[in-house]
Amino acid sequence: MKRKVLFPSLVALLSVGAAAAWATPDKVAECRGSAYTCKLPNPSPPKGKSCGGVNRLKNPLTGGCAFPLLGPAPLVDGLGGVIGTASSQGISINYGQRKLIRVNGVTASYVFALGVRLQEGDAAGSAYVVSGWLPLSSVAPQGNMPAAMPQVAAPTSPPGLLKRYTITGGSAKIRSQYAEFKVTPSAPLGPNSHQNVGDYLSRPTPSGQGVVNFLYSLPGSGGVATDTLPVGSAFVAASGITPQAVPMYDGHTRVAQKMTFVYGRVPDRLSGWRYGWIARWAITPVEGGK
């Protein structure tokens, strides 16, 4: 069942190296079942089917979702580790996803960019394509954006028993069997299109470590990422929120197997915790980790 959830009128706006407040009109977000399965409360989505609707920040000068970079820039994970170097191509920014990150001892404001093509290539000469955080200062200003973009965070989990996991990204068997399956029946076919099951498992990086996308909302409710964590990071599941099973599709045909997502939190070195969903296939329980 879809319902509307009213978001508070005060959201945080992070400037480079500092925090401030940014007041916006109350927004109503579309949710499915609970406040933990909501689409982003984006009041002005960009134009174009490829922009993903409310998931992306609108470029006020073009009406689309592409933002140019000022030049090559470091793409980092949510803990401040450098993934690689983003090329100077245009990027898309997930609406409301910004935070302060400390990289090499320097704290600055970063925005979350989707599917960034890196300058580094793999052994076959193909470029890595990874989502992650880019310095706000590396994005060419388009009117007042992205500097005026408010911060939107997933809700904290209710109090209760917690269980600790390690983010592993999923076994090789799971990735080989399901990575190219889709999470929506209308998704374009092919391994390089979005909405693949593999988008929620380990994504290859130049270092070989891999990263995993951490979600603000579930596939089918937006499926938008709120962070990217390196394999080996900690995840703490919330016992008070029921895991959600999402259908999978082989092409446009629904299969019997479903993909389950768990709600919880991951560490954030400056703010403490960040909340959202992660694929159960991408985590492994820590022994004695209650």
Average pLDDT per consecutive 10 residues, the chain (290 residues; last block may be shorter): 38 29 44 86 90 93 96 96 90 96 96 94 78 97 96 88 93 93 74 78 95 93 92 94 92 88 94 94 83
Nearest-5° Cα angle at 194, 122 to 12:
100
Does residue 237 form part of some domain?
Answer: yes
**Number of domains present in the structure of the chain:** 1
pLDDT for 171: 96
**Residue 222 sits in which domain range?**
162-285
What pLDDT is attached to residue 87?
85
Which pLDDT score is estimated for 34? 81
pTM of the model: 0.87
Look at residue 197 and tell me if it is in a domain. yes
188 domain-assigned: yes
pLDDT of residue 195: 80
Q: Does 91 map to a domain?
A: no
Residue 269 lies inside a defined structural domain of this protein? yes
Asked if the structure places residue 216 within a domain, the reply is yes
pLDDT at 16: 28
57 within domain boundaries: no
Q: Does some domain include residue 99?
A: no
